[in-house]
């Protein structure tokens, strides 16, 4: 394969992320409509648990069904193959979102113009910054009475600790919303509330002095727009594409997803500036998308919805080379060769058999228990991809077996569910106590429901007082043994046997840091190497 390859250059793989309700699903659907991948609104179901009733198991199952269908949505647009990776909106599934972000090359962050930066916006952006993922921001719901555009930009910069550069600018807002000026292309697009049409008619102006402006806007609106654009130019300057690609600067667009407004500008700019398949780090070396040999990693595992079929779907991101159906690949953790007769490709929300796939693509592999999240496939080289960390859970409960005759089933179920990434399993000594750690309460309901229905095991959860956890390491092995011994009741081991310090507050963790200065405390498991 040459240094560039048309199949690799064609691909743009990204995720749309947002705080729930900001408009992620609506925007995803509009992208698919623009790409001609679907032709009716409503085709993309909302992928979020019913937040008012978290005990609704049917809802959990429904969610699992939807998220299998919408995990990856591929479509062609302007000669590019676009892969949108879906992320769950509900905060209890945040870990799933973080892992999915390891498989994308860029992100579009949706912010609600009325609410501004919200809790999930902050967390998601932190994850993007950890990996220097390029982010474009879409400020949605401009048809509603929201915050002032300059205030929103300030809020983004101050609370997300990033620089922004608006590429479009709103004229009015809410009931006075008239449209946006496309700074990137020097065009005016006038707003027309229109939920059904894919392409709202655009009225274009050459520049701010074009007469067409005066025929559609009041003189005061034209003056205000000119004044604001001068300020925008003065404060934010022009887009520095390199800074965007390094994850330091976020281009910002304004619009209204439900009304198809501002979507085309966003999608066209995305196509022209968003990065293609990026290089990825392994423990051994950097893998470039253009490397000739095939490599890929599993970032998500989905259990079969039918409890009688234990098989699962492992989602594999291809990082280099060409993946081919029915060819043997090397599973580096297990040290064995596997071939896949029915790999799946996802176009829009349809699954189909795929013969070959390229860097940037995500394919689904039927799995009977070979895969864990983070597993690597190669053509024989011993590689292990990095950057799919476990994040510190915040809720910890001890597992109590309620049916001693089903101990084996319980152990197997817990192991498989944690391999799928539903939650993290820790073991504490003495007594091999099993502790489940999650970021949300919903997971415990998912676990006990699925343990009972899929594995026939019954368990109860005993709440522990811990609410913080940090992976610990030290260059000084004796110091590490010392803390493990002296703070035994605060220490558990993760699935790979790494020690984790559990505390009941940030304050307690800080105190432990002072007491054990030789020890390093890490927020994710990805600190090694």
- Grouping H, G, I as helix, E, B as strand and the rest as coil, residue 406 is helix
Does 141 participate in binding ligand G4P (rule CB under 6 A)?
A: yes
- CA dist., res. 139 & res. 289, Å (int): 32
Cβ proximity to ligand G4P: between 222 and 267 the closer is: 267
Among 96, 105, 143, 419, binds ligand G4P (CB under 6 A): 143
Q: Which residues have a Cβ under 8 Å from the Cβ of 211 and sit 6 or more positions away?
A: none
Select from 139-147, 214-222, 286-294, 346-354 the region that touches ligand G4P (CB under 6 A): 139-147
Cβ proximity to ligand G4P: between 54 and 304 the closer is: 54
Neighbours of 126 (CB within 10 A): 13
Select from 135-143, 203-211, 423-431, 510-518 the region that touches ligand G4P (CB under 6 A): 135-143
- Grouping H, G, I as helix, E, B as strand and the rest as coil, residue 156 is helix
Select from 201-209, 252-260, 346-354, 483-491 the region that touches ligand G4P (CB under 6 A): 252-260
Quote the least distance from Cβ 23 to ligand G4P, whole Å: 4
Size of residue set near ligand G4P by CB under 6 A: 19
Q: Which residues have a Cβ under 8 Å from the Cβ of 482 and sit 6 or more positions away?
A: 516
Among 48, 312, 397, 450, binds ligand G4P (CB under 6 A): 48
Select from 15-23, 151-159, 366-374, 430-438 the region that touches ligand G4P (CB under 6 A): 15-23
Select from 127-135, 137-145, 323-331, 482-490 the region that touches ligand G4P (CB under 6 A): 137-145
- CA dist., res. 431 & res. 470, Å (int): 22
Select from 14-22, 95-103, 211-219, 447-455 the region that touches ligand G4P (CB under 6 A): 14-22
- Determine which helix (DSSP H) or strand (DSSP E) holds 434, and give its type and residue range: strand 433-438
Does 257 participate in binding ligand G4P (rule CB under 6 A)?
A: yes
Task: Judge contact between 33 and 198, C-beta under 8 A.
Answer: yes
Does 22 participate in binding ligand G4P (rule CB under 6 A)?
A: yes
Among 7, 10, 21, 248, binds ligand G4P (CB under 6 A): 21
Task: Judge contact between 356 and 346, C-beta under 8 A.
Answer: no
Neighbours of 379 (CB within 10 A): 14
Look-up of token digits 């950057």: 387
Quote the least distance from Cβ 17 to ligand G4P, whole Å: 9
Quote the least distance from Cβ 318 to ligand G4P, whole Å: 27
- Grouping H, G, I as helix, E, B as strand and the rest as coil, residue 470 is strand
Which ranges of 237-279 would DSSP assign to H, the alpha helix?
241-245, 263-273
Cβ proximity to ligand G4P: between 127 and 512 the closer is: 127
Report the site for ligand G4P in 393-422 (rule: CB under 6 A).
none
Q: What is the DSSP string of 339-381?
A: E-SS-EEEETTEEEE-SEE-TT-EEEEEESS---TT-EEESS-
Tell me phi and psi for residue 374, to 5 degrees.
100, -10
Cβ proximity to ligand G4P: between 110 and 205 the closer is: 110
Task: Judge contact between 362 and 103, C-beta under 8 A.
Answer: yes
- CA dist., res. 35 & res. 53, Å (int): 35
Quote the least distance from Cβ 442 to ligand G4P, whole Å: 16
Among 13, 15, 25, 247, binds ligand G4P (CB under 6 A): 25
Select from 140-148, 304-312, 347-355, 391-399 the region that touches ligand G4P (CB under 6 A): 140-148
Cβ proximity to ligand G4P: between 29 and 419 the closer is: 29
Which token pair is 112? 């609600």
**Interface contacts to ligand G4P, rule CB under 6 A:** 18, 20-26, 46, 48, 89, 140-141, 143-144, 256-259
């Amino acid at each position: 394969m040459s240094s560039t390859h048309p199949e690799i250059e064609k691909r743009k793989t990204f995720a749309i992320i947002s705080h729930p309700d900001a408009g992620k699903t609506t925007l995803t659907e509009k992208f698919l409509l623009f790409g001609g991948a679907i032709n009716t609104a409503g085709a993309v179901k909302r992928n979020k648990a019913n937040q008012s009733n978290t005990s609704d198991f049917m809802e959990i199952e429904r969610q699992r069904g939807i998220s299998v269908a919408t995990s990856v949505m591929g479509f062609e647009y302007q000669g590019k193959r676009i892969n949108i990776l879906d992320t769950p909106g509900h905060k209890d599934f945040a870990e799933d979102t973080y892992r999915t972000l390891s498989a994308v090359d860029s992100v579009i962050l949706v912010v609600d113009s009325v609410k501004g930066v919200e809790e999930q916006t902050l967390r998601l952006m932190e994850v993007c910054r950890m990996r220097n993922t390029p982010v474009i921001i879409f400020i949605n719901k401009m048809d509603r009475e929201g915050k002032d555009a300059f205030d929103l930009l300030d809020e983004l910069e101050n609370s997300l600790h990033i620089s922004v550069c608006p590429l479009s600018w709103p004229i009015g807002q809410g009931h006075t919303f008239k449209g946006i000026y496309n700074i990137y292309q020097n065009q005016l697009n006038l707003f027309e509330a229109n939920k059904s049409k894919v392409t709202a008619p655009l009225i274009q102006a050459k520049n701010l002095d074009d007469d067409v402006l005066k025929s559609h806007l009041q003189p005061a609106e034209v003056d205000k727009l000119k004044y604001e654009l001068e300020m925008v130019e003065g404060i934010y300057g022009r887009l520095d594409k390199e800074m965007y690609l390094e994850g330091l600067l976020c281009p910002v667009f304004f619009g209204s997803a439900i009304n198809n407004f501002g979507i085309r500008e966003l999608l066209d700019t995305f196509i022209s500036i968003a990065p293609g398949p990026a290089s990825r780090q392994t423990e051994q070396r950097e893998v470039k998308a253009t490397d000739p040999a095939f490599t890929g990693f599993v970032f998500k595992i989905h259990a079969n919805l039918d409890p009688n079929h234990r098989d699962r779907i492992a989602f594999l991101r291809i990082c280099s080379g060409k993946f081919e159906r029915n060819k043997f690949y090397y599973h580096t953790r297990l040290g064995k060769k596997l071939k896949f007769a029915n790999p799946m490709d996802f176009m829009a929300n349809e699954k189909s058999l795929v013969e070959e796939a390229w860097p940037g693509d995500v394919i689904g592999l039927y799995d009977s228990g070979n895969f864990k999240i983070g597993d690597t496939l190669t053509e024989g080289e011993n590689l292990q991809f990095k950057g799919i960390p476990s994040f510190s859970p915040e809720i910890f409960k001890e597992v109590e077996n309620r049916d001693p005759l089903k101990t084996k089933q319980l152990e197997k179920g817990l192991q498989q569910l944690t391999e799928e990434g539903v939650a993290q399993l820790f073991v504490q000594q003495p007594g091999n106590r099993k502790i489940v750690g999650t970021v949300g309460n919903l997971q415990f309901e998912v676990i006990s429901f699925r343990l009972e229905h899929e594995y026939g095991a019954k368990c109860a959860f005993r709440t522990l007082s811990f609410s913080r956890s940090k992976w610990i390491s030290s260059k000084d092995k004796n110091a590490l043994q010392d803390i493990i011994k002296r703070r035994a009741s605060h220490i558990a081991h993760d699935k790979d046997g790494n020690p984790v310090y559990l505390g009941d507050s940030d304050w307690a963790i800080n105190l432990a840091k002072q007491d054990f200065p030789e020890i390093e405390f890490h927020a994710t498991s990805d600190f090694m190497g």
